[in-house]
Amino acid sequence: MAIMVQKYGGSSVATPAHIKRVAGHIARSREQYDRLVVVVSAMGDTTDDLLDLARQISGRPSPRELDMLISTGEQQSSALLVMALQEIGCPAISLTGAQSGISSSNVHTRAEILAIDPSRVVKELDEGKVVVVAGFQGVNGNGDITTLGRGGSDISAVALAVALGAPVCEIYTDVEGVFTSDPRIVKNARRLDEISYEEMLELASLGAKVLHPRAVEFAQKFNVTLHVRSSFTWAEGTLVKGVDELENKRVVSGVACDLNTAKAVIMGVPDRPGVAQKVFAALAEANINIDMIIQSMMRDGRNDIAFTVERSALPEAIEIMERVARELGAEGVAHDAGVAKVSIVGAGMVSHPGTAATMFGALADAGINIEMISTSEIKISCLIQEADAQKAMQAIHERFHLDA
């Protein structure tokens, strides 16, 4: 008996007409898979609209109530999709995250899936129904609804595939697969037939929102192949799978850009042991994640330490740094929220000298200044001004001939 888990993103179920089209596709898929579980996102911009409603009521809504509110988007779309399936004679049932046995941690608005008890889902499948699960949500130990963070329906889908033993999870979205860069920004971006989990995880973490990084992580850990496809053209798409199964290792597979970043600098800190520890321990205590770090060359016994944080964490980071700066006798604190991180990702770059130089050359020729750099075995990231982001992505994409 063949089993498949399919996930349809918000744009795929944006209107009643879209929902009817998706229902038709599901009915056809059923000819191939006798056990079919479908995870849906909320229709179009519903989640944003619900968040906006909350903002009109309160500047600081309680996270529990926010989850209660925004989880309703997926309940709407799952029920509507089942109605559409029933209209065309396809037996189906919708289930919430809790009804599907998705247990999560307690952290409202960004909960983690802890376990799945798929018994209800299995029972409905045994009865010959397509099971449509509301994505993006789980239930915590108190029985309260949680959500999994923006874009979290991808995680619901992969976790269900793991729990049900499905070898493949199809992710239907509004582009034809994973591209060498965001096809909405880089016009000649090319679709990749396949990409490794490692590369996809980096691209997703570095701003390519076509897949949620945690969904990729799950898929890698449990060896579920992800098949990213378009629900608009139904074309073949991209397979995300283990690096050993790939036909070739590209030096550079893709270019990503992350605007959710900001730069913070603590200037003129005395050059003595323990100073960096003091700065970063204070930030860690406040749960602020640090990404890129640069310590400049010493002058007159003092250093500048610059780093990046998520943009939303900048105000709190600055407050903490001003306090630490006073304690350390530093010269001051500066920040810039108008930055962007552009990155290249490729499993083959580790054995290919000159990749960094090529990337820096592309930026230099485009007249773009690099403010910070960070590297790992399979990625190189540069912090630049946000205004240059699109130009930078185009220039890097071209320099590595990614459209070829």
- Report DSSP letters for 264-280, one per residue: EEEEEEE-STTHHHHHH
216, exposed or middle or buried, with CB in 10 Å at 0-12, 13-18, 19+? buried
Choices 122-130, 143-151, 186-194, 294-302; region in contact with Mg ion by CB under 5 A = 143-151
Q: In the range 54-93, which residues lie near ligand ADP by CB under 6 A?
A: none
135 near ligand ASP, rule: CB under 6 A: yes
In whole angstroms, the minimum distance from the beta carbon of 12 to ligand ADP comes to: 6
Residue nearest to ligand ADP (CB): 9
Answer for which of 12, 41, 231, 308 binds ligand ASP (CB under 6 A) is 41
178 near ligand ADP, rule: CB under 6 A: yes
Answer for which of 10, 101, 207, 346 binds ligand ASP (CB under 6 A) is 10
101 near ligand ASP, rule: CB under 6 A: no
Choices 70-78, 131-139, 159-167, 171-179; region in contact with ligand ADP by CB under 6 A = 171-179
393 near ligand ADP, rule: CB under 6 A: no
Residue 376: other Cβ atoms inside 10 A: 12
Answer for which of 73, 135, 138, 254 binds ligand ADP (CB under 6 A) is 254
Strands 290-295 and 262-270: unpaired
What character string, x for contact with ligand ASP (CB under 6 A) and - otherwise, covers 353-392? Answer: ----------------------------------------
Task: Give long-range contacts, CB 8 A cutoff, 24+ apart: 16-24.
Answer: 16/80, 16/84, 18/231, 19/43, 19/77, 19/80, 19/81, 19/84, 20/84, 20/87, 21/231, 22/81, 22/84, 22/172, 22/231, 23/81, 23/84, 23/85, 23/87, 23/88, 23/90, 24/88
Partner from Mg ion, ligand ADP, ligand ASP, none contacting 175, C-beta within 5 to 8 A by type: ligand ADP
Partner from Mg ion, ligand ADP, ligand ASP, none contacting 184, C-beta within 5 to 8 A by type: ligand ADP
* Beta-carbon contacts of residue 203 (< 8 Å; ≥ 6 apart): 178, 195, 253, 254, 256, 345
Cα angle: 77, vertex 241, 117; to 5 degrees: 50
Residues forming contacts to ligand ASP in the complex (CB under 6 A) are: 9-10, 41-42, 47, 73, 135-136, 150-153
